[in-house]
Chains A and B, each alone.
Chain A
Amino acid sequence: MKAFLIYLFLAFLALAAQSEFFTGIKPDILFVLVCFYSLRYGQAKGMLFGALTGLLLDLSSGFIPGTNIISMALAGYAIASVRQRVFQWNIIINTVAIIMFSILDIFLVHVILATFADIYFANRPLTISVMQIVYTAIFSLLLYPVLDPEKTRDSLALFPVINPKRTF
């Protein structure tokens, strides 16, 4: 619960940073946070965190609430599912996975907005999506040492958790 609240606070900070500091093409820092949280805490918790951050993103975006709830929840679920099937997870696999899911996320948002809100992005240059993915990948590389999803719960540098049931 403590980790969830800390990640939620980080999500608020990321959202404010995306709104205030980036006036041009923005990285999807929230997406990176959802991926890192899901990789560490699994499908169910990742999906819940994804849905909540998606709701925050929708509310601050000013458009139809729901699009990012679905896309973020699915991203959280999917990346945690992939993690279960990969034996060795490292910074390169992590970055490649985030890039792949970032592409899928963009595609999914396109489909949802076109289907439910009749919003089409025909005029939108492709470079926006490409640069968004590049920036997101850079942020995932920068955040990996801090939020390393490979560290076990006991040895987390950022969020240490003491297991009372441990026997020696």
Chain B
Amino acid sequence: MLKKRLFLFIIFILFIFAALTYQGTKGIIDTSAFDFLSYPLKILEQGISAAVSGIKAVFSTNSEREQRKKLLEQAAVIGDRNQCIETRNENERLKALLDLKAQRSDYVTSARIFARDPTNWFQVLWIDKGSKHGIIKDMIAVTPLGVVGRIHRVLKDRASIIQITDVNASVAVRIQSSRTEGILEGNGDKKCYLKYVSQEMDVISGDAVITSGLEGLYPDGLLIGYVTSIIKKDGEFFQVIEVLPAQDFKTIEEVAILKR
């Protein structure tokens, strides 16, 4: 009995290794069975996302203490007031996205983020629009504040975005003031590293970093973030530049999708 179980386990592990090897070369297996398995999770996550937004509407939207005090005093109207503020904030964000739509000819659609990666390995966001809304792999996700990332996986009614802070993300960029070019890589946390910039180049903390479009994926001229620190080590040819993205990924709620 034990040998049979062990044999089945080894077969199972070998099957998973074979599937991993296949996916490593051919790309991710997307079957309807996988979609079916993750469907309850999507419903649950969307429900929790809506609940979190509701709680935020009550507690978090009033950052100013005075405003909160007033609202607490007016307990009878607190729900309505918060709802108004939340709606106003949402309107402002959506208006900014609409402005973006008017400015850019490569605009595809806008989408709401309903889940984030549950692990610490990847920086992935899930949006509520997919292939039936015209989204395809490697499209670009942006907000009015800056670049978010690129579309990685596309299902019928949802898609995942790899943030620029992910360890798999690399973007061809340039420093706006000096036009120095380099490759931006995510650090898997909140920041990015701008690599392959010669130590001879002068880079100043606070410089804006924008996409250069040289990798053929991101359109050029999109704001990525700002230089926060520069590390120069003796004996090394390149300097390492730390970049803080302009968009705070923890508070992002909607994105606009642009064509490649």
Contact = CB atoms under 8 A, between A and B. Distances in A.
Contacts of A20: 45, 48-49, 52, 115-116
A59 B189 contact: no
A6 interface: no
Interface stretch (B14-22, B137-145, B200-208): B14-22
Interface string A111-155: 011001111111111001100100000000000000000000000
Contact of B24 (A16, A64, A123): A64
Interface string B186-207: 1111000100000000000000
B44 interface: yes
B189 A12 contact: no
Given A59-B37, A61-B117, A116-B20, A128 B168 contact: no
B185 interface: yes
Interface residues of B, number: 46
Contacts of A123: 167, 185-188, 193
A17 B41 CA distance: 11
Contact of B44 (A16, A26, A132): A16
B16 A59 contact: no
Interface in B37-67: 37-38, 40-41, 44-45, 48-49, 52
A47 interface: yes
Contacts of B38: 56, 59-60
B214 to A, nearest CB: 21
Given A47-B9, A57-B119, A119-B167, A16 B188 contact: no
Interface stretch (A33-41, A66-74, A89-97): A66-74
B162 to A, nearest CB: 8
A113 B152 CA distance: 17
B126 A69 contact: no
A96 B153 CA distance: 37
A63 B117 CA distance: 10
B235 interface: no
B123 to A, nearest CB: 10
B41 A56 contact: yes
Interface string A48-83: 000100011101111111111110010001000000
Interface hub of A30, A70, A120 (most chain B Cβ within 10 A): A70
- Give the top 10 A-B pairs by smallest Cβ distance, nearest first: A62-B160, A124-B188, A18-B118, A116-B20, A59-B38, A23-B250, A66-B20, A62-B124, A123-B187, A19-B115
Interface of B: 5, 9, 12-13, 16-17, 19-21, 23-24, 28-29, 34, 37-38, 40-41, 44-45, 48-49, 52, 115-122, 124, 126, 152-153, 160, 162, 167-168, 185-189, 193, 250
Given A16-B45, A117-B20, 10 more contacts: A19-B48, A26-B118, A56-B41, A59-B34, A61-B121, A61-B124, A64-B20, A117-B23, A119-B168, A129-B120
